[in-house]
Chains A and B, each alone.
Chain A
Amino acid sequence: MADITQAAPVSSPRGDETGAAAPVARTTERQARIQAALERVANPERVHPATVGSGIAAWLLFAGVSQFLPDNVDLPMAATGSIDETTGFVVIASLAIAVAWSAIWVLGSVPGAARAWAARHLARDAKWVLGAGLWFVFWEFTTAKTSLFAPPYFDAPQQILTSLWEERGILAESLGASLLLLAVGFAVGLLAGLITGVTIGWFQAANYWVHPILIFIGPVPSLAWVPIVFVLFPTTYSGAVFMIALSVWFPITVLTRAGILSVPRSYYDVAQTLGAKGWFLVARVSLPAALPSIFTGAFMALGASFVSLTVAENFGVNAGLGWYLNYMKGFGNYPGLYAGIIVLVAVCGAALTLLFRVRNFVLRWEKELTRW
């Protein structure tokens, strides 16, 4: 655990300045060499100027195509002229991306505090920046400019952007409703799943009764509960919470139980010989040991909860992103539909990323932790 980069001899206790200066200089030089070598080993990725340059070119091309190629006259927005405003925004945004990417390229090439940060992104993100730029050029060209892919089912970036802006009020409202319902349902299901999993993992008598029920009730898709849930529950909202919680409860319970049953017996032996009893064994030995398994359950639960959320919003709760999508479809408003899907994609991605972050922090003790 010795930190070689700090292994430099400190100061000469005898105040022998001239004698101490030479070895210190040699040590720092050696440290610099070791650090440089380590840097090469730790960051084998290289910056490829051709890829970075093509990325900038692709975004400039997107701006150029949007601005200078004439729009297809059949485009609904072209007639009203509203596409011109949005096109301006698209051009500015793509130019901003090209400028930002160029700035990162410059930062990564000149010595400075941000060089390592910039170099890492240049090496890692270059292909994505290029790929995304090319995709937008293709998308813009085939929809807005040529109508190779025609509306209403295929829409230009400008149309979707316009919808995102026009529907911002209802989208924000739907987003808030969805997030709240998801959070409440997930929290209830997580808590219930942990309690059930620990109980049946610890008590054979509880396992005898609950495990068969779990095996049969758990896998039933949430859509099948819709006719019953919204009749039995006092409010549609509590029914929706129940549906999401049920779909979260099942994987959490199964994997909490599995995690607790697979805790090595020796952990309990050790803890018991040290004076641990009852609740301490559950909270300080069983649960932490079962956490990797519980997180696997949480990932499954998150996926299931998105399904239940959209189902519940479509069939009972008249709010949220799931309801919004159906509502837009009813009007045949495909740009609005795409706008809703973009928001939903962002929500799912953000929720999953958050869960990964939490997991990587909580399980930081794991030796060969798989990172996503």
Chain B
Amino acid sequence: MVTSAETTGAPIDLVGVTQAFRSHGNDLLVLDDVSISAKPGEFVALIGPSGSGKSTLIRLLAGLDKPLFGEVYVDGKPVTGPDPSRALVFQDPTLLPWRSVRQNVALGPQARGILTESAQRIDDVLELVGLSDFAEAYPSQISGGMAQRTALARALVNEPSVLLLDEPLGALDALTRRVLQGELARLWQQRGFTAVLITHDVPEALVLADRVVVFSPRPATVRDVIDVGLPRPRDQSSPEFIALRDRILGLLDAEGLQPDDWENAS
């Protein structure tokens, strides 16, 4: 078990964020004046139709892109570039194939020049995600679920104050998905980081999040924000859970919106 001090989550504020791209001569407005905030240690889920700019938003939060207009604040400071305190987990685990599981997890500490002092922390986080026995395996030798756990461990070893999850469980089978949902909830409660989760799975959003933000189709605007407010661990068969699920599905259905299937996911 990890005994390190709990990291406190950082607050997130997006103020009037607008993002557009020009590709093949077409100008594409992706995010239109979006304002969202998250309290320290809060778990926020973003749900919306395909191409509605959710991944664009998470890239802005990670500092990988800059918005056209508007401000992105994390922990009260404007985001100017990527930083290990804001860890990102993609749908594709994107492990570096020439590095073993352990070396992939060690990437952050190594990049920041604190590899030797982090040895214990790396072992701890591998244990936390249940991969101690596979530390020396190469990514080509492990299953999709293990690869995604490795990606999670790689993010968590840096003790981030914000964890950005871009459909992290989208490509996994239903069984592995359920197991990892439970583990995500446990890690979030244990570590206390602020979490932003993009998902297409309405029950998944409701199992994990404090609040669910529903997006409109492109250009994305915030359609509705739903406070979940159910006790944890959440019972998917409770009437309250089903009522919330139907309400969100209704919102997505209302304007012919369907949560995207992952073939079209960007």
Contacts and interface: CB of A to CB of B under 8 A. Distances in A.
Interface string B100-144: 000000011011100000000000000000000110011111000
Contacts of B83: 273, 275
A275 B158 contact: yes
Interface of A: 1, 264, 266-267, 269-277, 280, 284-285, 288-289, 291, 363, 365-367
The interface centre, meaning the residue of B82, B83, B133, B158 with most chain A CB atoms within 10 A of its CB, is B82
B90 interface: yes
B265 interface: no
B111 A1 contact: no
Given A289-B96, A365-B140, A367-B140, A273 B64 contact: yes
A285 B141 CA distance: 20
Given A267-B96, A365-B98, A273 B84 contact: yes
A367 B108 CA distance: 24
Given A266-B90, A365-B140, A367-B140, A274 B111 contact: yes
A11 B98 CA distance: 39
Given A271-B111, A273-B62, A276-B107, A285 B134 contact: no
B64 A269 contact: yes
Interface string B185-228: 00000000000000000000000000000000000000000000
A272 B63 CA distance: 9
A275 B84 contact: yes
The secondary structure that dominates the A interface is helix
Given A269-B88, A272-B64, A1 B134 contact: yes
B205 to A, nearest CB: 23
Given A272-B64, A273-B82, A367-B140, 8 more contacts: A1-B133, A267-B96, A269-B88, A273-B86, A273-B87, A276-B111, A277-B111, A284-B107
A275 B87 contact: no
A264 B94 contact: yes
A116 B36 CA distance: 67
B54 interface: no
Please name the 6 residue pairs, one residue from A and one from B, whose CB atoms are nearest each other, closest first. A274-B108, A276-B111, A367-B140, A275-B84, A272-B82, A273-B88
A358 to B, nearest CB: 15
Contact of A275 (B94, B112, B137): B112
B97 interface: yes
B97 A271 contact: no
Nearest to A363: B98
B157 to A, nearest CB: 9
Nearest to B87: A273
A270 B88 contact: yes
B98 A275 contact: no
Contacts of B87: 273-274
Nearest to B111: A276
A289 B139 CA distance: 14
Nearest to A281: B111
B210 to A, nearest CB: 24
B66 interface: no
A367 B139 CA distance: 9
Interface string B138-177: 1111000000000000110010000000000000000000
B92 interface: yes
A17 to B, nearest CB: 31
A365 B154 CA distance: 19
Nearest to A264: B94
B138 A365 contact: yes
A274 B154 contact: yes
B108 A267 contact: no
B88 to A, nearest CB: 5
Contacts of A367: 97, 140
A8 B101 CA distance: 28
A326 to B, nearest CB: 45
A285 B94 CA distance: 12
A31 to B, nearest CB: 21
